[in-house]
Structure 1
Amino acid sequence: MDEQFRDTSSVRRTDVFALVGALAGATATTALIFTRLAPFNGVIGFVVVDYVLFLALYALLVSFDENGLAVRDRLAAVVVHSLALLVLSALVSVVTYTLWRARTTLPHLNLYTQDMSKAGPVDPVTVGGVLHAMAGTLIMIAIALAITVPLGIVCAVFLSEIPGPFSRFVRTIVEAMTALPSIVAGLFVYVTVVVLLGVGFSGIAAGLAISVMMLPIVIRSADVVLRLVPGTLKEASYALGAGQWRTVWHVTLPTARSGLTTAVILGTARGIGETSPVLLTAGLTPRMNLNPLEGPMVSLPLATLTFVKSPQPEMVARGFGAAAVLMILVLILFAIGRALGRKG
């Protein structure tokens, strides 16, 4: 008799019954334990016990129809999907909570067209805005990108194309820099640029501090992407008579274009949300300043921190409005970066 193989990608009715039954049984058992059998309380404890019982009941129900290998496979699939759902729920809750708290400020046009030079702590949300913080954020991140993108990609090319003791040393330093606290980077730029060189609080100093945080992220991500380029493409280029650097420029980098764009986006996401380096190097101002070489400048994360620390509800609402604007700005930059990365 021929063996009958089942398509593992399809979902049977028994699979749904096992999933729903395990969830219902685990929830009912956990409720019984917390309310009748044991002096337990707390939402987190309830969820943890419920999830553990759910996994046990689900494995038991699946074992009635499947063998041990299938039970382990289903259990692993449930755990992976549960973790993905947990991460997605955390992201949705953060975004939803921020937008909900910013609902009183986002509809007002002055949030995007005014600074805080003429607004006081007790003024309504119809006065003042975060235009100066938006401009400061864009200027600082532009300076940081101008520094980190060429340096990061060149360093990643060096690490992937010229292996050796020195490249291993550089890779070790880069990996160590990824764990560098942001406050240390801010203090380093503050001492060297603001104090010793006498530049003062400015956008250029903040951009340098942000670039210190972004550079290891860009290098590591770009290095991984470049090492994934098939070696056969490089060998074909060498066979046609091209040199190493011409091969890198015309074969390796275009092949890894999308991945390099992702590396830049990851670095930008790390740098655009920094607060402590900006506070130490850019200062704080309620006025618009478009000159990164002179005068204090503020960013959206720093403005958010300053606003939400105020006891006035109007300032707190402006803080959540600045956070919502920052999320929208990051989304726009991400979309632009992905569009540029897809171009041939």
Structure 2
Amino acid sequence: MSTPAVTDRTTGSLRGGSLPRWFPLAVIAASIVVAVAIGLGTGLHSKVQWGLIAAILAVLGTYVVAARVEGRRQARDRIATSLVWVCFLLAVIPLASLIWATVKRGVKVLDGYFLSHSMAGVADTEPGGGIYHALLGTLEQVGLATVVAVPIGVLTAIYLVEYGRGALARAVTFFVDVMTGIPSIVAGLFVLSFWILILKMGYSGFAGSLALAILMMPVVVRSTEEMLKLVPNELREASLALGIPKWRTILKVVLPTSLGGIATGVMLSIARITGETAPVLLLVWGTNFINSNPFSDPQASLPLFIYQQYANSSGSGAAYDRAWAAALTLIAFVMILNLVARGIARWKAPKTGR
């Protein structure tokens, strides 16, 4: 009769076919050392290549050692865990590198003056100027797009989940799926041909907002639809059993229950459109002056400002620094929106107890 495997957890020693807790760290450290040695020996100077070699060695080393000590079944479990961590690092490292590079280069000119002044009278090659006109334009354009897209998107999702049946619901679902993959330039061309060329309304921030709303609506519909489906049917049935009309059940029971997810979806859709450049370039154009009226004349925006400054910078100079500072401002803007959404979601979340 065989005895079960025992591991001495106090000393961390290896006994009875079980690996110690420090084994993953040891494999990672050994993989990094071997990867650096391979990189130096073969003339690979990129740290990204070293990291990929270390990840491959860590996964293989984990499987080989675990298979010999713990058996193939436990080794497969460990290799699955290792692959999850490798994929996590492959996603986080580029993001952290992007944020670090943006912060490092953007803080050079990012200050109160930069946020409160425009580029009026300042050439692209000269120092000075700011992004107030572009920040104001982005806030107005994204705000108008949100006002247009969110009610339509939420009501469409309510129809699909609560009322939609038959051919009409299938058609709406199909067109929402199609709109999800529409390139931004196509939405801009559509608004350009209809709003500006046919209706003769002229270039303005509102024209850009219409194109952004087209891009925003399918994201709002899909995210809201999924959140509404997560609301338990028992809540709807309990409300209807008390004689409450269906529209009031949706308003007072379904929507408050799913408000947190809906707010998150709206923020994701706002983040989706905030960095769009093509519709703004086609429909809004750009200006170095402050235009607080989004319904008349060209208006600046942060994505277009970044593009124009970088295009005129030749990789260095004042315009180059302004482009990175505007990019950092855009990232901070999206981050603040997400934090606000999380706060609203927690504040409006249904309370289950005292």
2:112: which partner in 1?
Answer: 109
Q: Structure 1 residues 40, 83: closer, same or farther in 2, change over 3 A?
A: same
Output the CA distance in 2 between the equivalents of 1:32 and 1:333: 45
1:151: which partner in 2?
Answer: 152
Coordinate RMSD, CA, aligned: 2.5
2:212: which partner in 1?
Answer: 210
2:352: which partner in 1?
Answer: none
Output the CA distance in 2 between the equivalents of 1:241 and 1:119: 66
Asked whether 1:118 is paired with 2:118, we answer: no
Spell out, residue by residue over 1:31-67, the C-alpha distance to the aligned partner (whole angstroms, 9 max, x if none). Answer: 555565x787755544333322221111122234434
For the residue of structure 2 that corresponds to 1:201, the secondary structure is coil
Q: What aligned pairs does 1:1-344 form with structure 2 within 5 A after superposition?
A: 14-31=19-36, 43-106=47-110, 108-124=111-127, 127-165=128-166, 166-311=168-313, 313-344=317-348
**Stretch moving more, 241-250 or 201-210:** 241-250
Output the CA distance in 1 between the equivalents of 2:81 and 2:301: 42
Identity over aligned pairs, percent = 32
Deviation, structure 1 residue 242? 1.6
**Stretch moving more, 193-202 or 276-285:** 193-202
**Stretch moving more, 289-298 or 327-336:** 327-336
**Stretch moving more, 219-228 or 326-335:** 326-335
Q: Structure 1 residues 167, 132: closer, same or farther in 2, change over 3 A?
A: same
Quick check: 2:66–2:72 contact (8 Å CA) kept in 1? no
Output the CA distance in 2 between the equivalents of 1:325 and 1:85: 26
Quick check: 2:285–2:298 contact (8 Å CA) kept in 1? yes
Q: How many residues align?
A: 336
Deviation, structure 1 residue 178? 1.0
Quick check: 1:18–1:61 contact (8 Å CA) kept in 2? no
Runs (5+) with no aligned partner, structure 1: none
Q: Structure 1 residues 332, 45: closer, same or farther in 2, change over 3 A?
A: closer
Quick check: 2:19–2:70 contact (8 Å CA) kept in 1? no
Output the CA distance in 1 between the equivalents of 2:281 and 2:146: 19
Quick check: 2:205–2:284 contact (8 Å CA) kept in 1? yes
Relative to the length of structure 2, the TM-score reads: 0.87
**Stretch moving more, 334-343 or 306-315:** 334-343
Deviation, structure 1 residue 133? 0.5
Output the CA distance in 2 between the equivalents of 1:304 and 1:222: 32
Deviation, structure 1 residue 284? 0.8
Quick check: 2:264–2:338 contact (8 Å CA) kept in 1? no
Output the CA distance in 2 between the equivalents of 1:204 and 1:212: 13
The ranges of structure 1 where at least 4 consecutive aligned residues each deviate by more than 6 angstroms after the TM superposition are 1-7, 38-41
Relative to the length of structure 1, the TM-score reads: 0.90
Output the CA distance in 2 between the equivalents of 1:306 and 1:135: 17
Quick check: 2:55–2:86 contact (8 Å CA) kept in 1? no
Counterpart of 2:142 in structure 1: which amino acid? Answer: I
Counterpart of 2:116 in structure 1: which amino acid? Answer: T
For the residue of structure 2 that corresponds to 1:49, the secondary structure is helix
Q: Structure 1 residues 66, 201: closer, same or farther in 2, change over 3 A?
A: same
Quick check: 1:22–1:61 contact (8 Å CA) kept in 2? no
Output the CA distance in 1 between the equivalents of 2:261 and 2:193: 35
Output the CA distance in 1 between the equivalents of 2:347 and 2:36: 55
Deviation, structure 1 residue 170? 1.2
